Structure formats: structure tokens, C-alpha cells
Structure 1
Amino acid sequence: MKKRRPPRAWVGMAKPPDPSELLGPRGLTAEVLRGDDEEVPIHRGSAPPPESDSITPVRQSSDSAPLRDWRFYWDLLSEDRRARILSVIAARLASVTVVLDRLLDPHNTAAILRTSEGLGLGRAHVVSHESQDALAHRRVTQDADKWLDVELHPTGGAAAAELKARGFEVWAGHLDDRAIHYTDLKADRPIALLFGNEHEGPSAETLAACTGTFRIPMAGFTQSFNVSVAAGIALAHVTQKRRAHLESAGDLPEDERVKLQQRFTLLAARLARRVKPSH
């Protein structure tokens, strides 16, 4: 049996689909896009969509060909799907992010990407391990990686330095004498949580570039959590704390919300192509 290489995580700007590829009996149809959520597996957020009358649609940009293209697909989506997209955009956090530094197991990378998207993060930063070529397993991410921006860096130290230059504090999960309790991480400023290699942890160079280190206490005989579990625990706490500080579910400016609405609409259209209408 031929070994299948898992697809890479989505990186870069969304490319609008060719309408000629989408239209037709096997392409994008109103019946497919208006199917139940169970048939179109693109509803991977953590919260249900708010009532439609409480959602404020994202304001459109100036007229352009790409904009008119995405509006065509937007009008074909069901009201529930449109409400879900708008609710996800409203809860997106740009001021909380995660750095994955040379993780060996791509399943761990994929699981953290899925958790990050589910918690509302808009971007993740990845330093690929020398011996692995895949960034995410689709069976684990359940398409969550497609809704994230994934930014690649050559080293953990470079990623930390770049994020600090953008105004982030970068805290590495690491057991040392100076590590603070994860609940003591401050959320009054942009924050990035860095998780290092499963066996080696963050390198000395990476730790030196970080703001500090944090730890998650253990109450059992097990010495440490799996890295994907540790990321889930810490990110869930930090995102909740950050939203409480902001007094808002998300923090994207208007222009970024418009871009996300366009991108998510086109991605929803692409994913719908994989679903065959039931007869």
C-alpha cells in the first residue's frame, strides 16, 4: 500500500476558485451549499452561531472583480452558514498566537492547530522539524488548518524575535527555576505561547529570545503532559483571560474582518465541492 503524505497546512492568501471549475453537477450548487452541517464538515468552531438578528454583517470593500466573485458564493450559502462565518470572524483573536518549535510528531502539530482554530486564534507560527515534511494531518485537524494563517520560521529564536518586534510577549512552556504558573500569564498585552520539541523542549537559543517561561503543574505520577494537551490547557486559559481584558470576543479591525469574510466564503465553497448531494 502506497504511503500517503499528509497535506501541508494552508499557508498564505486565499486563492479565489475558478468559477468554471465550481459550476455544474459536480461543482458548487445551491443544493450542496445549503446542505445540513452534518454533510458539510466545515463547522469546527467551539461556539454555536448567534441569532441571525444579532449579527452585524461585515461591511463590503470597494467594488472589484474578486469581491463580486465572493459575494456570488456568499449569496448561495444558507443563513445558518453565513451566521456561523460572521460569528467566527467576530471572535477571532489576533493578539494571541502559538509557536510550534520543531515538533517531531505531525499529529501533535495538527492537534494544536485544530485547538488553536477552535479557540479563535487567527494565526499560528511553525518551525518545522528537520526530519518531518508534513505540517498537519487532515484527519486530525478536520480542516481546521485551512481557516488559519500558518507562518513559517527558520528557528524558534527567529520566531520569538519576530513576534517580540510586533509587540508580543513570548512565553515558552518549559520547566526551569524561573518558570511561572500558567495562570499567572498576563493577558493585558499581545501574547504568544511557544511549545518546543517533544523530547528536547525549546533550545537554549529559543529560550534566550523569549520573554520568559511558564509551567503547568502536575498532580499525578506522570512527569509531563503531551504537548498538544499542554497547549490546549494553556491556550484555553490565555484566550479566556485575553477576551476578559478586551471585554470583547475578538479584536480584528474592520479591514481584516472584511478580508476574512471573503476568504472564509471562498473556502466554504471549496470544501462544499467535496460533498456529493444526497439523493
Structure 2
Amino acid sequence: MRKLEMDELNRKSIDEFKQAEKNKIIVVLENIRSMQNVGSVFRTADAFLIEAIYLIGYTPQPPHRDIHKTALGATETVQWNYFSTTDEAIQLLKADGYQVYGIEQVEKSISLEQFSRKADDKLALIFGNEAMGVEQSTLAQCDGCIEIPQLGMKHSLNISVAAGVVLWEMVRMHVTSSPKVEF
């Protein structure tokens, strides 16, 4: 087994990325404190061709060196918008036909592996503050909540890890199947 060289990875240029068909998913970051978490979510959104990121409230906005440190250029490829309140963002999302789901542990949440969507469903996923999660007033406006199953003692994940897990699962549902490889 040989590690691939950078020129073998078939990376898109910034223009190719911007012109590529995106997954109809908008990530909403509600009052995230850490610039590194924001940068990491940008990088994940780039990896999975996510349509856009909405930054809410006191969530840090690019350009900033601490965001760029983890985003590694993804703030140049992934479209983003800032809203002072989550209410503004949700109103726009719903007017544009998006289903809005909080990523949160709540009564009657849908376990991530049980959630299904069609490839052309327009979906907005709200990730909340590192300590407090998605605000209760925001949850009241959601079409539902998705929960990441966790088996250990801790029942929380870092926002950037949670975003990676959820976004991969949303995209994985519609990735063209390849034959299984056995080793």
C-alpha cells in the first residue's frame, strides 16, 4: 500500500468547487465560541460539498487566522452567511423550502442511523453552542431533532466532531455505491 501524492488526490480547484453540484444541506452554527471549531466545520463542509454555512449570533466569522488555521482554505470555497439571530436564518430557510433539524438530545429525537432523506431534500442542520447546545427557542422552530447515538459515559461530542459525523451520514446515504473491497 502506497500513500497517494497530493497531485493524485483529484482535488477540485476553487472554481471547480464553486461550480460543482452541492449537497442540498445548509449547516447552521448557533453561537459557537471556538474559532477552531468554526474552521473545522468549514473544512468538513468543503469535504462533503455542503451548500452553505450560516453563522449565527456570536459565532466567529472569517476572515480570522484562527478560523483559517483549521479551515485550510475552506472559507474560500464554502459559501457562508451571517445572521444576528437564529430566527432570521430559520425564516429564510423555511421560505426557501428547507426542512430544519436541530442536532440535539431531546424527547422524541430521531437517532442518526434511523434518519433518512432523499438526495434532493433541502435540509438545514443546526449545531449549537459547545456548552449549552441548541437553544430551546430554536428547537421549538425545528421540524425535528436528530441525535447521534453514543454508547459511553459522556453523552456529548465536540461540535466539530458532531458535524463530521452527521454530515458524513447525510452525504453517505446518497454516495454512489462502489463494490465492497475485501482485504
Quickly name the TM-score band, shorter chain normalised.
0.7 to 0.9
Three-state SS of the structure 2 residue aligned to 1:213 is strand
Choose which of 133, 136, 139 in structure 2 pairs with 1:204.
Answer: 136
Pairs within 5 Å for 1:64-75: none
1:108 matched to which residue of 2? 37
Three-state SS of the structure 2 residue aligned to 1:95 is strand
Q: C-alpha displacement at 1:158, in angstroms?
A: 2.2
2:180 matched to which residue of 1? none
Instruction: Give ranges in structure 1 of 5+ residues lacking alignment.
Output: 1-36, 50-80, 248-279
2:126 is equivalent to residue 194 of structure 1: yes
Distance across 2 between alignment mates of 1:154 and 1:145? 19
Structure 1 moving runs of 4+ over 6 Å: none
Normalised to the residue count of structure 2, the TM-score between the two structures is 0.80
Structure holding more strand per residue:
2
Normalised to the residue count of structure 1, the TM-score between the two structures is 0.54
2:89 is equivalent to residue 159 of structure 1: yes
Deviates more, 1:197-206 or 1:88-97: 88-97
Which structure has more RCO (C-alpha within 8 Å, separation ≥ 6)? 1
Percent same amino acid among aligned pairs?
24
Three-state SS of the structure 2 residue aligned to 1:229 is helix
Structure holding more helix per residue:
1
Distance across 2 between alignment mates of 1:159 and 1:242? 26
- Deviation string for 1:230-256 (max 9, x for gaps)? 010000110222456xx9xxxxxxxxx
Three-state SS of the structure 2 residue aligned to 1:209 is coil
- Deviation string for 1:73-124 (max 9, x for gaps)? xxxxxxxx8xx33764575315112100110111111111110111111311
1:221 matched to which residue of 2? 153
Choose which of 172, 180, 183 in structure 2 pairs with 1:240.
Answer: 172
Choose which of 43, 48, 51 in structure 1 pairs with 2:9.
Answer: 48
Q: Judge conservation of contact 1:124–1:148 (CA < 8 Å) in 2.
A: yes
Pairs within 5 Å for 1:89-128: 91-128=20-57
Instruction: Give ranges in structure 2 of 5+ residues lacking alignment.
Output: 178-183
Three-state SS of the structure 2 residue aligned to 1:186 is coil
Name the larger-Rg structure.
Answer: 1
Three-state SS of the structure 1 residue aligned to 2:27 is strand
Q: Judge conservation of contact 1:169–1:190 (CA < 8 Å) in 2.
A: yes
